[in-house]
Structure 1
Amino acid sequence: MSGVKVEQLPVPCLYLGEGPHWQEDLEALLYVDVFNKAVCRYFVNTGRHQVLHIDDGGKAKSVTLVVPVEGMKEWYVVSVGNTLCAVHWKVSDPDDHTVVPKVLQVTTDSHFNDGKCDPQGRLWAGTMGPQDEKGELLKMNVSSLYRMHSDLTLKKCVEKVSVSNGLTWSPDKKHFYYIDSEAFSVDAFAYDDLTGQIKNRRVLLDYKKSNLGDDIPDGMTCDVSGNLWVANFKGSKVICVAPETGQIIDQVNLPSKNVTSVCWGGPDYSTLYVTSGKMRLIPEEVKEIPAAGGTFAVTGLGTKGQAANAFRPDLNLFRTKVGL
């Protein structure tokens, strides 16, 4: 596509960047530095970059998602291992500091992975199986996709998941799209916005039948036309998929091999922010791909997205849970 510009942002990431979320009121990009157990906040207009380290006493190895809490200024829901937590993160805080999280919910799963909120503000967060030190999956089909409601209860929505990853909703709120990376597909469900119920799962895009080589589907978002933008781990690209046909209709190449996730942001939501990681790259590859692990801003795509949803809890319950 002519006119597309890819810019690497001046924000560091130790090993694996994930979970981008545009926070409109701050004009800031949120994302997580997974194995550094940190949440990051980049103010695009000023260049300020805040890093919030999560101290859970060494219980977890990863932090994988961050979403703001509606009606609770400077509060966020963050996944810490197999736990969903709340943290208070003030703009006035030092740019690099540590916080002890407040526990909201704990699962018996290995650990959370990707997650975001639906149009009603319910938090959908999936888990993945245990891994070895190289990041290889040890157990398949033992994880789930959960939905946390305003009363902070968790409901299991999809079972027998291996690596719960990208999720997004259609602009008309009738479809839910979902990725289990080890299934190598982008799936679609019928979605009831009032209740949050999903049904009639079907494969929208089968990676093994679509000439995508060793690419692995990872994070995902939707534009205002309803097209899906999917990050391709191992694939150095983001693909655009038309949900009506399941066809790949566009592609953005990135200077990083392991592309992890995407979100729309900027003043008019026409910038596609993309995270990536160095995970599973050998030292020689890291030298050959200096942008590996970078976070990128892609413009000139000719489309845009919509504001991301914050978590919408019962505020009295939330305040009690976090001790306010």
Structure 2
Amino acid sequence: MELLFYFVLALGALFVSGEQNKAIVEITPVINVTESIFVDDEHKVIYYVDALGNSVYKHAYERGETSSIEIPAKTVGAAIPIEGKHNEFIVAAHHEILRVHWSEEDTAERVTKLHTNLKLASNERFFQGKADAKGRLWISTFRVGKGGPADVIRGGGTFYSITVHKNHSTTIEKKLSNVNVVTGLGWTQDGRHMYYVDAYKRKVFKYNFDLNNGDLGHSKVLFDLDHHPHLHGDIHGLAVKYNGAVVVSLWNGGALVLIDGHDGSIIEKVTLPIQVPTSLAWGKGLGRNVVLVGSSRIPLTEEEIIQNPFDSGSVYLLNRVNCTGVPSFKIRLAD
């Protein structure tokens, strides 16, 4: 089956970046905005959400099958599997953090609202989230103005760390305030540094990180898109290589950029046939040389969508040689 999987990759559409041919393959149906891609190596599936909807999607990549469940909320920002609990997730759902069981009939069963002391504003919602290597949930919020989802209120968001307990209680720490919207997040393999993207600041921030207690230390701007006028679009998704380098996607810029994790210099730019790449991930079950790239139909016009042979709003596999990255981590329930 694994040989068949890579044979399909080899037959995928090719595009040119620099002097090397790259293979990119569409693997999921189209939605609006693919975000929060999670690769479950154990069960050989990919989870992701539609940032403008209330559904969580599951793609079994060996069988090529995609299914979904609807969450009882206005929107969903992230869905992360719980360690040791098959088909159970922690879901950041608009104003609430939920524990959800994905039934065999593809419905959301046993939906439990976790006990938190968070009171989000009416125009505020949860967005991107990931778990660190200790199983804590890191989740951000942002606020929108009267212009709708794209009208982000500058400095209106907050970045939280949440420990989820077995009794459905939570321990919440406010880590950062005055953020716009966090669209990418990741840690180095040794757990000593955390990176995140604030899309509207057009920057990648790097923090010293204490994995044991989740504390953030000294920070710096690792990469500022405004200092690179030859790059178009906005920074969006983020994934971390084993050597500490950072891969970011350029929303409406049609590219991935590999950045040195120490000095922020550009190592490589990879041009994509996808105009609006979003979330990034990789995982052991897919092979360490495969990068998953989400995409968005927004802000493309219908004409732009029709003209591009690659469907915006799908998840893609980008075949890269010697690209090894830190995998997705599951939520770990605390006592």
Asked if these proteins are the same fold (TM beyond 0.5), I'd say: yes
Deviations 1:89-123 (A, max 9, x none): 14x334xx455732124541401111101111111
SS in 2 for 1:182: coil
Partner residue in 1 for 2:44 = 27
How big is the shift at 1:131?
4.6
1:286 corresponds to which of 299, 305, 328: 305
2:59 aligns with 42
Find the partner of 1:245 among 263, 278, 281.
263
Structure 1: segments with no counterpart, 5+ residues: 316-324
Per the TM alignment, residue 196 of structure 1 is displaced from its structure 2 partner at its CA by 0.5
Q: Distance in 2 between matches of 1:70 and 1:248?
A: 36
Determine which of 110, 120, 125 is the counterpart of 1:108.
Answer: 120
**Which of the residues 141, 146, 149 maps onto 1:127?**
141
Contact 1:140 1:161 in 2 (8 A): yes
Does 2:84 align with 1:71? yes
Once the two structures are TM-superposed, the CA of residue 289 in structure 1 deviates from its matched residue by 2.6
Q: CA deviation at 1:284?
A: 2.0
SS of the residue corresponding to residue 214 of structure 2 reads coil
Secondary structure of the residue aligned to 1:286 is helix
Match runs of 1:48-87 below 5 Å: 48-56=65-73, 60=74, 62-87=75-100
Q: Residue type of the partner of 1:101?
A: V
The CA deviation string for residues 23-71 of structure 1, in whole angstroms up to 9 with x for no partner, is 0111011111222311111111111111111123xxx2x2121111112
Alignment of 1:71-220 (within 5 A): 71-90=84-103, 92-94=104-106, 97=107, 101-104=111-114, 105=116, 106-109=118-121, 110-132=124-146, 135-151=149-165, 152-220=170-238
Paired letter, 1:278 = R
- 1:203-237 Cα deviation digits (max 9, x unpaired): 00000012254421112111111111111111111
Question: Residue by residue, what CA displacement relative to the aligned partner does 1:299-322 show, whole Å, maximum 9, x if unpaired?
Answer: 13322123311011126xxxxxxx
- Shift in alpha-carbon separation, 1:138–1:35, aligned structure 2, 3 A: closer
Structure 2 unmatched runs, 5+:
1-16
Greater Cα offset, 79-88 or 124-133 = 124-133
Alignment partners' CA distance in 2, 1:285 and 1:145? 34
For 1:252-298, what per-residue CA distance to the aligned partner results, in whole angstroms no more than 9, with x for missing partners? 22222111110002343321111011112222222223422121001
SS at match of 2:52: helix
Q: Number of paired residues?
A: 307
Change (3 A) 1:108 1:69: same
Runs of 4+ in 1 over 4 A off after TM superposition: 97-100, 131-134
Q: Aligned letter for 2:150?
A: E
Are the structure 2 counterparts of residues 157 and 128 from structure 1 closer, same or farther at C-alpha, using a change threshold of 3 Å?
same
Query: How far has the Cα of 1:133 moved from its partner?
Result: 5.3
Question: Does structure 2 retain, via aligned residues, the 8 Å contact 1:52–1:99?
Answer: no
Q: How does 1:261-300 map to 2 (within 5 A)?
A: 261-265=279-283, 266-290=285-309, 291-300=311-320
Amino acid at match of 1:32: V
Aligned residue identity for 2:99: A
State percent identity of aligned pairs.
22
RMSD over aligned Cα atoms:
1.9
- 1:120-151 deviations in whole A, cap 9, x for unaligned? 11110111121555532242101111000144
